[in-house]
Amino acid sequence: MSSAKSSAGPSAPPESAAAARKTPARRADSPMRSRAAKSSPSSIDPGSRGKILVTGAAGALSQHVIADLRERGYETVGVEFRGVADDYPDTVDYVVDFNQRPFEDVFREHDFVGIAHLGRIRFTQSTRGRRYSENVVGTTRLLRLALKYGVEKVLALSTFHVYGADARNPSLIDEEYPMRAANLMPQIVDAVELENLFNIHLYKHPELNIVILRPCVIAGPGIKNEMSRMLSQSFAPCLAGFSPLMQFIHVQDMSDAVIAAFEQNHPGVYNVAPDDYVSYQDALVMAGCRRLFLPSIPPSLARRSIRALGRLAPPDYMIDFFKYSVIIDGSLFARTFNYRPSHSLAELLGHYRSAK
């Protein structure tokens, strides 16, 4: 990332493209560089609005957020977990696990005014244990460091999955609704725990000005979550007799929401979703997918057929998200931050159709 690269100084030896990726380990090999970065009074460039740590910097959303933050005069430092990608884009400055000691070096080397915690190991990316360790325990460390180094603003990206999928869910779920996923689908308990962690800090440490965003399904170019994967395929599984209502937000609109939450200080928990809806099967048709109908009853047969499809289907413990609607009410965020998404559903799903 440009700001971090510049902080390394012109004395940095020439490096190959791969070796140019910075890690705390490499920085330890070059103490002069880190000293120079730390001692420099201009680790925040003149005219800069401050330096922001962006986690999950290899992700499509983070890339949008980093570009938008820079456009608004912020400097950014991108951090990514180890082992989530083979090749990291330019937005990644550090590849480090939050649980490990070198992570603090990132805070020592930069004077952050804010953190955009967008990085989370996805449900399908690793084991439940690793997800818990990185997403929950790692985030505890991130928050401790944020307090220690006087960060003024922390934004956390959560997910609508925390509400859980259930036949009895009301529509337009608001922020006060219980996070039932912990009970309904224990496999994704790390998402709920992550939220609880931020909620505790939200009230215990108001100086961090924590904002938690719970977006609906994020989709669009570069997004690799479960739903985006379904929409990108030629065939996508459907459970016969179920076509839950869904909400989608374009990755650029989500980036705008993150920026709005960063620039206007209204700490709290907010759903982020457009006031527009489409059924799952309609979404598949609009995205140019052929529907592959699977038996929905008995539930054990449905799970077995989902498992048989392997990577062509979502994990079987998320099956209820493809049966029951989880419609969230994004009106509080829209009102508080004067926010309105600019991409239509047709435009968003049309992207997947045109990519086929």
Partner 1 sequence: MRTRQFLKPRTVSREVDDIVNNLPMRNIGSQGYDPWGLNPDTAKITFTAVRWLYERYFRVQALGLDNVPGSGRVLIVGNHSGQLPMDGVMISFAVANRKEGARLPRSMIERWFPSVPFLGNWMNSVGGVIGDPKNCAKMLEREEALVVFPEGIRGSGKPYRLRYQLQRFGHGFMHLAMEHNTPIVPVGVVGCEETMPSLGNMKPIARMLGMPYFPLAPLVPLPARLFLNFGKPMTFVNDARNEREVEWRVEEIKDAIRDLIDVGISQRKSIF
9: left (phi over 0), alpha (psi -120 to 50) or beta: left
Stretch that binds partner 1, among 27-35, 147-155, 182-190, 282-290 (CB under 8 A): 282-290
Q: Which of 171, 234, 264, 265 binds partner 1 (CB under 8 A)?
A: 171
The conformation of residue 29, written as its DSSP 8-state character, comes to: H
Closer residue to partner 1, CB minimum distance, 17 or 167: 167
Q: Which of 168, 300, 338, 354 binds partner 1 (CB under 8 A)?
A: 168
The phi, psi pair for 348, rounded to 5°, reads -65, -50
Stretch that binds partner 1, among 18-26, 72-80, 97-105, 171-179 (CB under 8 A): 171-179
Residue 176's contacts (CB-CB under 8 Å, 6 or more residues apart) are: none
Cis, bond preceding 298 (omega within 30 deg of 0): yes
Which amino acid, one-letter code, is at 221? P
Place of tokens 């201009």: 42
Q: How far is the CB of 104 from partner 1 (least distance, A)?
A: 44
Q: Which of 143, 239, 258, 259 binds partner 1 (CB under 8 A)?
A: 239
- What is residue 332's three-state secondary structure? helix
130 within 8 A of 185, measured Cβ to Cβ: no
Handedness of CA 275, 245, 223, 99 (dihedral sign): positive
Q: Which residues, numbered 24-63, are part of the site for partner 1 (CB under 8 A)?
A: none
Closer residue to partner 1, CB minimum distance, 239 or 272: 239
Stretch that binds partner 1, among 86-94, 203-211, 250-258, 343-351 (CB under 8 A): 343-351
Kindly state the tokens that stand for 165: 């999928």
As beta bridge partners, residue 213 has: 157, 270
If binding is defined by CB under 8 A, does position 263 make contact with partner 1? no
Residue 186's contacts (CB-CB under 8 Å, 6 or more residues apart) are: none
Closer residue to partner 1, CB minimum distance, 137 or 292: 292
If binding is defined by CB under 8 A, does position 167 make contact with partner 1? yes
If binding is defined by CB under 8 A, does position 271 make contact with partner 1? no
Kindly state the tokens that stand for 334: 């829209």
Closer residue to partner 1, CB minimum distance, 155 or 173: 173
Q: Which of 68, 282, 303, 350 binds partner 1 (CB under 8 A)?
A: 282
Binding site for partner 1 (CB under 8 A): 167-168, 170-174, 177, 239-245, 275-279, 281-282, 285-286, 296-297, 323-325, 327, 329, 344-346
